[in-house]
Every structure is written in structure tokens, then in C-alpha cells.
């Protein structure tokens, strides 16, 4: 089953003014949608980053793998590595640690691997989870993902706004959590921190604890703190957090915090590529890995990373950036077939407009905080060509070509500097 042609379509979708350690989300998030046309008429779908630099790499890799068999994933990976391996690469997708040649190859390969698996599943009439060894769960639990946020993007037209309101203090965060939990039924809660001084973020977490006494809580300042500050926060939130995510930068710093912190540390920043696994695990820098198939090399490599974590007694959760339905379907198929998944996964899904996506509605839903695993062949989702054209039009019109949370913040607040490591 040969790859006859590959189409990569950049798309944009509305994104609220979500704050993080390096600035604020711009009004649109960018993604790429991959359609992999096979010679027997099957089309495999993939989704990944949509910034200019990444689109160029996807284009080069697409050309190199056209003509290969969708079942020959090893050869496809080798072809991707040959054409883009060793090149410099800027990781502008948002707070997922440094970039390296291996991470770049794995990120580009991932977009095509998912599309190949979708095509394989469609061709044999089985869900992708079956190609990964079979589902060990029929629903995948996700966590509420809270953000400090502005009411809206300054100067935006009302139709470009969102109806979540501002969340800039503990009350706002609790309000946001309540609404998100009411709507999706989430059974765990993560707060994106690194925005305000740590004392304020501790207060917000304590307010969440008071409002939701039974829900596991997480805090993620994206490495905005020094080691001593991380330890102070860890002590203040002893018994409150199920894990503390990326309090500080780098494997050494994380290891130092991990030695004294009462709760496990999690990361999607210091262990983000194969070369980080040995030092990260040897130094016991993390108790939980937030894996992400978009940069760990697709669904099969992510399963291998999960098995490795199980052997080293490291928990596994899943990281997320702003994404659409094809990515959610891939995350769900992977999580369904991953034995060692010890925490509810992250998703930015609630921040996306319900009616804005590239897939035909209905295949993915949240029931009691979890997504039932779609049972259709492949990823279990179908592309809506009209919706794809609409979001591509939005991409063309919006003018954004890379994610730049810091630049956007600086345009709005000249003099702003990122908070990493601010405290």
C-alpha cells in the first residue's frame, strides 16, 4: 500500500488570551493537517505543529517518503531522518524544552507515522489502538487544564472573543475550574502557573483544594522558579498536589528539587528527547513523564517510552499543546493501548471553540472527564473538507506564521520579559 501523494495544509483556529510563563497565547493557534493518499484510495490523517519552520520540514519529509509503503514505518522513519536529520531546528511550539536533531526528526516523523497508522487501520478495518497491541481501556481520562487568562484579546471584535471571562486571581481560577468540570466532568485539575509570583499561585491551588476537596491537583509553572523557590512551593503544597510539573529548568535542577520535594515532579520540559532519558532517569529528576507523541516520534515510540518509564518506576501522563480533533483522536488511541498510563492526560481541548475543527463532529466526546475510545477504523475520525478549507482560510487571513507568546505580550506590554526563571 504505497503513499501516492501527501498534502500538508496549515490551519488556524481561535485561541483565547491564555497566560503562561513566557507571555500570552495569540488570537489564533496554528496546526498542520496531513492527508496521506495511498494508491488504493485510502487517505490517512495526521495533525501536528503549524509554524513556518515546521511546515518546511514536513514538506521536505513528505517528498522523501512519497512512494514508500504505509506499513514500512521503519523505512519511513529512516527516510525522514536522512532528509532532515542534523539540521538546526527552532522549537517554537511552546514550552516543551529545548530542541535537538533527534527531537526534530521524531517530531516530523510523528506527523506521518500517525497518518500511516490511520491509513493502515482504515485498510484493515481496525482502530489504531488494535495496531498498537489493542486497547487496555475503553475510555481515556483527561484532566481539566486551567489557565490564568484575560477576558479577551485586547481590541478583538466580539465574534473573536470567548465566553470564559477573565481568571486572574484564586476566585477566577476556581470559577473557571467549576465551569470546566461541570461541562466535561474532569476528575483531576491542572493549573498552568509561572504567571504570577509563586505565593499567589499557591493561594490559587489552595483555593482549588478548598473548592474541590477530592480532586487530584497539579501545578505547572514551566520552569519559572529557582531551585530554592521550587522547594518552598513544594513544601507549601505538601499533601495538596499529586505532582508538581517542571518547577525549575533542566535535569540537574529538577533532580535537586526532586531529592527534597514531598511530591513527585513531572516534566514535559527537561526529558523531551531520547538523549534525556538516561540522565533524567539516572538522576531521578522526575517521578512522572508527560509524554507527547507529537515530539516523541509517534504512537509506537511513545509506547516504548511508556514501557521504559514502567521499568524505572516513573509514572506516565500526557502533555498537550493547543490542538484539534485529529491530534485528540491520536492521543486517545495511544492512551487506550498504553498499559502504563498512571495519570489523567492533559488536553487544551476546552479552550477550542466547540464548532471549530477539521473533523466531522460526533466521533469524540467527553463523558465524566474521559473520552470514549472511537471504535471506527484508523483513528476513528473523518476529515470535514469544508471545515479544513475554512480553517485554512483563517490561517491565510490571520497572518500568524509561528507561535510567539512573548512577542505578542511585548507588543501589548512593551518591556515585558518572560518569567523564566523569574522567581
Residue ranges that bind ligand GKR, judged by CB under 6 A = 18, 20, 94-96, 192, 220, 222, 268, 319-322, 346
Q: Measured over all CA atoms, what is the biggest interatomic distance in the chain, rounded to whole angstroms? A: 60
C-alpha cell recorded at residue 50 = 503549524
64 vs 223, beta carbon nearer ligand GKR:
223
Peptide bond connecting 48 to the previous residue in cis, omega within 30 degrees of 0: no
Q: Which stretch binds Mg ion (CB under 5 A): 217-225, 247-255, 300-308, 414-422?
A: 217-225
Using rule CB under 5 A, residue 292 touches Mg ion = no
212 vs 408, beta carbon nearer ligand GKR:
408
* CB-nearest residue to ligand GKR: 94
Scanning 159-292, the segments in alpha helix (DSSP H) are 170-184, 198-211, 227-236, 251-260, 274-282
Among 113, 162, 201, 220, contact with Mg ion (rule: CB under 5 A):
220
DSSP state of 350: G
CB of 291 to ligand GKR, least distance (A): 12
d(CA 115, CA 292): 16
C-alpha cell recorded at residue 333 = 488511541
* Residue 192's binding partner out of ligand GKR, Mg ion, none, with CB under 5 to 8 Å set by partner kind: ligand GKR
In the set 93, 149, 319, 323, the catalytic residue is 319
* Residue 357's binding partner out of ligand GKR, Mg ion, none, with CB under 5 to 8 Å set by partner kind: none
Using rule CB under 5 A, residue 268 touches Mg ion = yes
Run of H or E residues at 288: strand 288-291
CB of 346 to ligand GKR, least distance (A): 6
- Residue 139 φ/ψ, nearest 5 degrees: -145, 145
DSSP string covering 54-93:
HHHHHHHHHHHHTTSBTT-HHHHHHHHHHHHTT------S
Instruction: Please say if 319 is a catalytic residue.
Output: yes
In the set 122, 192, 276, 293, the catalytic residue is 192
91 vs 113, beta carbon nearer ligand GKR:
91
CB of 243 to ligand GKR, least distance (A): 12
Instruction: Please say if 153 is a catalytic residue.
Output: no
C-alpha cell recorded at residue 255 = 533532580
CA end-to-end span of the chain = 54
What residues are annotated to the active site? 192, 319
Binding site for Mg ion (CB under 5 A): 220, 245, 268
Amino acid at each position: 500500500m504505497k503513499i501516492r501523494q501527501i498534502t500538508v495544509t496549515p490551519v488556524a483556529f481561535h485561541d483565547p488570551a491564555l497566560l503562561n510563563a513566557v507571555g500570552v497565547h495569540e488570537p489564533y493557534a496554528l496546526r498542520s493537517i496531513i492527508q496521506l493518499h495511498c494508491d488504493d484510495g485510502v487517505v490517512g490523517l495526521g495533525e501536528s505543529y503549524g509554524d513556518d519552520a515546521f511546515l518546511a520540514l514536513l514538506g521536505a519529509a513528505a517528498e522523501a517518503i512519497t512512494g514508500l509503503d504505509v506499513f514500512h514505518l521503519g523505512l519511513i522513519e529512516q527516510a525522514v531522518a536522512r532528509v532532515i536529520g542534523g539540521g538546526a531546528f527552532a522549537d517554537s511550539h511552546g514550552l516543551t524544552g529545548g530542541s535537538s536533531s533527534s527531537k526534530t526528526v521524531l517530531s516530523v516523523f510523528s506527523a506521518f507515522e500517525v497518518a500511516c497508522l490511520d491509513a493502515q487501520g482504515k485498510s484493515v478495518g481496525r482502530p489504531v489502538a488494535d495496531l498498537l497491541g489493542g486497547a487496555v481501556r475503553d475510555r481515556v481520562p483527561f484532566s481539566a487544564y486551567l489557565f490564568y487568562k484575560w477576558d479577551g484579546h485586547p481590541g478583538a471584535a466580539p465574534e473573536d472573543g470567548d465566553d470564559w471571562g477573565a481568571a486572574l486571581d484564586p476566585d477566577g481560577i476556581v470559577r473557571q475550574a467549576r465551569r470546566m468540570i461541570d461541562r466535561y466532568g474532569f476528575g483531576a485539575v491542572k493549573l498552568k502557573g509561572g504567571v504570577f509570583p509563586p505565593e499567589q499561585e499557591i493561594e490559587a491551588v489552595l483555593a482549588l483544594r478548598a473548592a474541590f476537596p477530592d480532586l487530584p491537583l497539579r501545578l505547572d509553572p514551566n520552569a519559572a522558579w529557582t531551585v530554592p523557590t521550587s522547594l518552598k512551593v513544594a513544601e507549601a503544597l505538601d499533601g495538596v498536589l499529586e505532582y508538581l510539573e517542571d518547577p525549575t529548568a533542566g535535569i540537574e535542577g529538577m533532580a535537586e528539587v526532586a531529592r527534597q520535594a514531598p511530591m513527585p515532579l513531572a516534566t514535559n520540559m527537561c526529558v523531551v528527547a531520547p538523549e534525556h532519558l538516561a540522565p533524567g532517569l539516572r538522576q531521578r529528576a522526575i517521578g512522572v513523564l508527560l509524554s507527547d507523541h507529537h515530539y516523541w516520534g509517534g504512537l509506537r515510540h511513545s509506547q516504548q517510552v511508556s514501557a521504559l518509564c514502567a521499568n524505572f518506576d516513573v509514572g506516565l501522563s500526557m502533555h498537550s499543546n493547543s490542538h484539534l480533533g485529529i491530534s485528540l483522536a491520536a492521543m486517545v488511541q495511544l492512551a487506550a493501548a498504553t498499559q502504563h498510563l498512571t495519570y489523567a492526560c492533559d488536553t487544551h481541548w476546552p479552550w477550542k471553540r466547540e464548532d471549530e475543527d477539521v473533523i466531522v463532529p460526533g466521533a469524540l466526546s467527553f463523558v465524566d472527564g474521559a473520552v470514549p475510545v472511537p471504535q471506527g477504523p484508523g483513528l476513528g475520525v473523518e476529515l470535514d473538507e469544508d471545515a479544513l478549507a475554512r480553517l485554512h482560510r483563517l490561517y491565510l487571513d490571520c497572518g500568524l506564521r509561528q507561535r510567539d507568546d512573548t512577542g505578542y505580550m511585548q507588543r501589548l506590554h512593551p518591556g515585558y520579559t518572560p518569567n523564566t526563571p523569574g522567581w
